[in-house]
Amino acid sequence: MDNARTIVKNSFFLYASHLITRIVNIVYIGIFARKLGIEVLGDFGLVTTLYFYFVTVVEFGLTPLFMREIATDKAGSGKKFFNILIVRYLFSGLSFLVIFPIQGFLNYPPELKLLIIIYFINIFFIPIQSTYGALFKGHEKYEFTSIITLVSNLIGTAVNLLIIFMGGTLKEIILVSIPLNIIPVILYFIFGRKLNIDYEFKLDLRLIGKFLKKGLVFFLAGIFFQIYLRTDLIILSKLSTKKSVGLYNSAFRIFGFLLVMLNILVQSTFPTMSRLYKNNFEKFKKLFYGLLRILLFVFFPLVIFSSIFSKDIIILIFGKEFISAHLALIPLLWTFFIIAFNTPISLSLVTTKYEHFTMYTALLGAILNIILDLYLIPKYDILGAGLATIIPRLVNTTILMSLFYKYFFKIEWVKIIKIVFLNIILGIGLYFFREYNWVIVLSGYLILYSLLIFIFKIITDYEISLIKGLVLDFKDRISGGMVSL
């Protein structure tokens, strides 16, 4: 199977499972918000925000490092797996201890403090889930991760909906999250046996030291990005009302859904990009442009449409009570677009020896975001929190582009100008139909966009080949019809 077909296969499995689970989760969080209210949604957002800070600590940047190690050299992956698992369990224990003084410092109500502590028990399931996930992806067994994600998420959502419709509270939902997290752990053990690798349960301090040293850059970049991404909600909780926290969290949930979809594509190209940079730079360059064009082709029109019809989207998912959340959603959507545009650049740095640059820019982004939050939230509330996310991303993208030019190559903007120009024109036209039914407008927009793409040959033979390859790969699993990378 060639490189292009491998990426298509990986992307398909990840997108198929995650798209289903994320759509289900969006429906679930909408029901959650309608049944339990704005303030409870805000409390849940604060609990999960603190939790994901420490998930990043537990992972310690080892996932991309482990995937890169396996992608370039699969020998010894069983030994590496065990030692990374040990490290992550150490960080899980430390994280659980540290959360006590932190939640005390934040001075939240006693009920919220208790919910935070209970939910943090789940931190002890992260090492198994995250390390096995990286192991499967490094061996390009994305279907394993996809099945586990799909099954565990559907079961979890069904149980949580049952609790909500039976009149349960946030406390019951958080309590049941602990047994629900056992399900993916069991599934990871089962699928882990299918890899046919030798698991060496031998502690290697030298190997651990090597991983900690190399993983430090990924960890710092990850934690700085999480601070940039999630600190808005914490600062809102201290400077504004519980209602504002709930409104912003509803917009952030949509933003998070888009980030997950983007991250899936990034993960599926990671092993291939690592290999191509090492073995064939021209093919690496071709993959870069292919990824950039596909991201623009998919996400640019999505962000334009969602911005214009942001009120309708909020009402559809969360109800009219949340309509003012569109003030935060619009800047978050454009923040997402900047992140998507920047993804091929940052991914190129991460898959090579220049990953430390992403750490520095992530730190700068985190600092700028906190400063802007402290200034803009008191003035503009949730709109200020949304605006505070855009400026740091623009600054980061500018810096990373200059570094990319220096260490890789200058981007040929002519390769993407048609996609950008077409979306701008269609976006202007779409604005004049903003008062019409959004479903009808969306249908017409998609038809017109698709026709213009093919009429003006916006999509290259390479992108068409990826679409054809997707069909071929899962109809008969035979070779052919793909443009080789």
pLDDT tens, residue by residue, 385-405: 999 999 899 998 889 888 888
Q: How far apart are CA 66 and CA 137, in angstroms?
A: 10
Q: Which amino acid is at 367?
A: I
Taking residues 149-163, report their average pLDDT: 90
Residue 467 has pLDDT above 90, yes or no: no
Please tell me the least confidently modeled range out of 18-27, 156-165, 340-349. Answer: 18-27
Taking residues 186-215, report their average pLDDT: 80
Enumerate the H helices of 280-355 as residue ranges: 281-308, 310-318, 326-350
| 480 located within any domain | no
Q: Which amino acid is at 79?
A: K
For the CA atoms of the chain, what is the radius of gyration?
22
Please tell me the least confidently modeled range out of 43-57, 203-217, 269-283, 438-452. Answer: 269-283
Is 310 within 8 Å of 333 (Cβ atoms)?
yes
pLDDT at 18: 65
pLDDT at 380: 93
Is 290 within 8 Å of 412 (Cβ atoms)?
no
Two structure tokens written together for 102: 């932190």
Domain that holds residue 415: 3-475
pLDDT-derived band at 463, boundaries 50, 70, 90: low
| 482 located within any domain | no
Task: Give Cα separations from 259 to 61, 179, 252, 262, 412 (angstroms).
Answer: 18, 27, 10, 5, 26
pLDDT at 465: 61
From its phi and psi, is residue 460 left (phi > 0), alpha (psi between -120 and 50) or beta?
Answer: beta
Residue 172 has pLDDT above 90, yes or no: yes
| 485 located within any domain | no
Range among 113-122, 130-139, 431-440 rated most confident: 113-122
| 391 located within any domain | yes
pLDDT-derived band at 360, boundaries 50, 70, 90: confident
Q: How far apart are CA 383 and CA 325, in angstroms?
A: 9
Q: How far apart are CA 96 and CA 102, in angstroms?
A: 10
Which is more confidently placed, 329 or 107? 329
Long-range (24+ apart) CB contacts under 8 A made by 419-427 are 419/293, 419/296, 419/297, 419/300, 419/458, 420/296, 420/300, 422/449, 422/452, 422/453, 422/456, 422/458, 423/296, 423/300, 423/301, 423/304, 426/301, 426/304, 426/452, 427/301, 427/304, 427/308
pLDDT at 471: 37
Please tell me the least confidently modeled range out of 242-246, 280-284, 305-309, 451-455. Answer: 280-284
Query: What tens digit of pLDDT does each residue of 65-82 get?
Result: 777 677 666 667 777 888
Two structure tokens written together for 380: 């503009």
Is 254 within 8 Å of 311 (Cβ atoms)?
no
Please tell me the least confidently modeled range out of 200-204, 247-251, 334-338. Answer: 200-204
Q: How far apart are CA 461 and CA 121, in angstroms?
A: 50
pLDDT at 271: 62
| 484 located within any domain | no
**Burial tier of 110 (Cβ tally within 10 Å: 0-12, 13-18, 19+):** exposed
pLDDT at 312: 92
| 481 located within any domain | no
Residues whose CB falls within 8 Å of the CB of residue 2, separated by 6 or more in sequence, listed in order: 479, 482, 484, 485
| 447 located within any domain | yes
| 217 located within any domain | yes
Residue 475 has pLDDT above 50, yes or no: no
pLDDT-derived band at 16, boundaries 50, 70, 90: low
pLDDT at 485: 34
Q: How far apart are CA 331 and CA 155, in angstroms?
A: 33
| The total number of structural domains that make up the chain | 1
Taking residues 281-301, report their average pLDDT: 82
Give the single-character DSSP code of 351: T
Arithmetic mean of pLDDT over the chain:
82
Q: How far apart are CA 389 and CA 332, in angstroms?
A: 7
Is 163 within 8 Å of 172 (Cβ atoms)?
yes
